[in-house]
Amino acid sequence: MLEPAEKQLDEHRILSIDMGIKNMALCLLRVSRQEIFSSEPVTPEILNWQKFSLYDHHLNHGYENSLNSGTQDMDFASVSLAPLATALARQLITTHKPTIIAIEKQRYRTTGSAAVQEWTLRVNKLEAMLHATLRVLQEEGIWEQGATHSICPQKTTGYWLGRYGLTDGARKGTVTKPLKVKLVKSWLENGQNVVYKKSNFLAADTASLFSKVSSEAKTRTGEKLDDLADCLLQGLALIHWEISRLKLLEGWE
């Protein structure tokens, strides 16, 4: 959470996470104290932007024994998922050194279905464990100045599409996904709302994918970009909301 000026850090590093197991996306944004309290529009810098599979993360941390033999499925029992969530939380903090982590809030149902899909429950379980682990790391003083936010994806989508007048007819995910990808693409091409250094391959490599995007929100190689767009939009929205909150607080004082 962004603090009033007298308590503000020199810079904030906002780590935005789009939850998933096969497709987890994250975007690390940096914004300076000077920008936060400036009258000019804030333009955060992308430091890291990537998508990865927890299958790979799972194997890289020595939990091979919890894989089902002869399959590519992970064991999602709580006793097996807990060490993975713990390792993930610790890696996020030590690697990216965030001051704020924004985690996409998961739904229990998708596309209006009355049934709760097993895969959705798995991601929800991981989300809960990640929040719990980050809370423990805060209380133990390992991530003492950190803060965690749970962000409703509909709130993020409504904020950006409404801001740019794109809400008409954009009610379903199949419609909003390409709109969000196109929005991010236009920002990157025009240097609006967010910047990155071309010398920083951790950001530039992902940004370059959006220059190849088609009307179906996929690159020519078929790689989906909506998860990457979502985590960027979520992080930027949180920054905007927090700055607005600080301005309101200053107005009351």
The 10s digit of each residue's pLDDT in 194-251 is 999 999 999 999 999 998 776 555 554 446 899 999 999 999 999 999 998 888 877 6
Q: What pLDDT is recorded for position 111?
A: 52
Q: What pLDDT is recorded for position 189?
A: 92
Q: Which residue has the higher pLDDT, 156 or 172?
A: 156
Domain membership flag for residue 199? no
Q: What pLDDT is recorded for position 222?
A: 43
> What are the φ/ψ torsions at residue 20 (nearest 5 degrees)?
180, 170
Domain membership flag for residue 93? yes
Taking alpha carbons only, the member of 38, 44, 89 closest to residue 234 is 44
Domain membership flag for residue 91? yes
Q: What pLDDT is recorded for position 75?
A: 63
Instruction: Give the Å distances, CA to CA, from 247 to 5, 44, 231, 243.
Output: 11, 18, 25, 6
Domain membership flag for residue 196? no
Q: What pLDDT is recorded for position 150?
A: 96
For residue 123, what are the domain limits? Answer: 5-166+234-248
Q: What pLDDT is recorded for position 54?
A: 82
Strands 147-151 and 24-32: unpaired
Taking alpha carbons only, the member of 19, 224, 225 closest to residue 122 is 19
Strands 100-104 and 11-18: parallel
Domain membership flag for residue 195? no
- d(CA 144, CA 68) in angstroms, rounded, equals 37
Beta strands in the chain (DSSP E): 11-18, 24-32, 45-52, 100-104, 147-151
- d(CA 174, CA 161) in angstroms, rounded, equals 14
Domain membership flag for residue 112? yes
Kindly state the tokens that stand for 177.
């996904």
The CATH number given to whatever domain includes residue 19 is 3.30.420.10
Residues in the chain: 253
The 10s digit of each residue's pLDDT in 7-59 is 556 889 999 999 988 889 999 999 998 888 777 889 999 999 999 988 776 54
Q: What is the pTM of this model?
A: 0.85
Task: Give the mean model confidence (pLDDT) for residues 119-147.
Answer: 92
Residue 199 amino acid letter: S
Q: What pLDDT is recorded for position 66?
A: 41
Whether 122 and 139 have beta carbons less than 8 Å apart is answered as: no
The 10s digit of each residue's pLDDT in 55-86 is 776 545 554 444 343 344 556 677 878 888 99
Rounded-to-5 percentages of helix, strand, coil across the chain: 50, 15, 35
Q: Which residue has the higher pLDDT, 168 or 18?
A: 18
Taking alpha carbons only, the member of 80, 83, 102, 76 closest to residue 2 is 102
Domain membership flag for residue 220? no
Kindly state the tokens that stand for 74.
């992970």
Percent of the chain past pLDDT 90, that is, above it, reads 51
Q: How many domains does the chain have?
A: 1
Q: Is 238 exposed, middle or buried (CB count within 10 Å of its CB: 0-12, 13-18, 19+)?
A: buried
Domain membership flag for residue 101? yes
